[in-house]
Structure 1
């Protein structure tokens, strides 16, 4: 009986320790996706122009602004012009936008690949708009909403997650947004500084899988 109590106690200590490490985000490997400091896997997904896109294609990139977004969600629609602006602002500085539609078109036909092509043309997207066919990539990242942003920094050890969350603090009105989380994060990285706010709450529609 005494031996059993000792074993139970040891099991609890191990479980608590593992939870603590996970919460700190040290090489987070939990099922909820990446944490700050984790190395993100590359992917190869089809763009609206028919070409396959991966992060490795961007040889001169310093990092990436990966945004999970879609056609039908009003939050995503509200941010389309701002996503274009982020790409125009940072692509030439080494941080291009890569937009990924994670939704299952069987549930939301508006988010089909054909409709993605139409939307990209209508809005004049300057960035790749790629389809997460089979919904395999967004769970790796842990994306929950559209839009949901992951800023990655290219390093010798891989593409390290430096920011996760929302684009800014006002989806309704771009002019009223006074906290520009993604912009601040990328500017900090370009200056060689730590991202001032690493995680924010993504506001948007739930991903339809």
Structure 2
């Protein structure tokens, strides 16, 4: 029994370390702050194709790579819903994208996405990156991984990349609301102070 407890403890430590550690291979080669993000066309859970250009009145976007099966993503679901409820009316809607290979993670297939969105009451599009062509352009490596885009004359400019906040375990214990701070600054016509943070979550499955 003691050996089992030690084994479980050791595995827990390994999982925690791996969650907070990013290998060189995992570092995104995609967009950097100031880059213009290409538009995309991905299937939503309602079967319709969605692009950023569909949002004529948007001031920008909270593009969030997330999924059904990652425990970190699940812990952040309510916060993602709240971000959309707070900022979509102000011009910054959430655009959620599921980037995983569904052969590797069947629990992230389109039917499972539909079920999850319905049970949680998602207020935003939940798109599937079926061919896994969009997330590499962004440089997303985790679920969740957030990219805040601001609509400009040149296109959708990347203004923030990283985590939603600084406490994935407990929303009530958050001390730094990275995404909220960034969007609030943009809405006030100010520069984002903290433009990059480390995304904490599960690696995207290829």
Among 128, 133, 138, which residue is 1:136 paired with? 133
Question: How much has 1:57 moved relative to structure 2?
Answer: 0.4
When Rg is computed on C-alpha atoms for both structures, the one with the higher figure is 1
Where does 1:46-65 land on structure 2 (aligned, <5 Å)? 46-65=43-62
Among 67, 78, 90, which residue is 1:93 paired with? 90
Coordinate RMSD, CA, aligned: 1.0
Matched position secondary structure for 1:98: strand
Question: How much has 1:133 moved relative to structure 2?
Answer: 1.1
Gaps of at least 5 residues in structure 1 are: 1-30
Q: Which has the higher contact order (CA 8 A, sep 6+)?
A: 2
Following superposition, which runs of at least 4 residues in structure 1 exceed 6 angstroms of deviation?
none
Gaps of at least 5 residues in structure 2 are: 1-27
1:171 aligns with 2:168: yes
TM-score (norm 2): 0.86
TM-score (norm 1): 0.85
Question: How much has 1:202 moved relative to structure 2?
Answer: 0.1
Specify the alignment match of 2:80 in structure 1: 83
CA distance in 2, matches of 1:48, 1:180: 28
1:180 aligns with 2:180: no
Q: How many residues were matched structurally?
A: 180
Specify the alignment match of 2:101 in structure 1: 104
Residue deviations 1:144-200, cap 9 Å, x none?
000000000000000000000000000000000010000000000000000010000
Matched position secondary structure for 1:91: helix
Where does 1:150-169 land on structure 2 (aligned, <5 Å)? 150-169=147-166
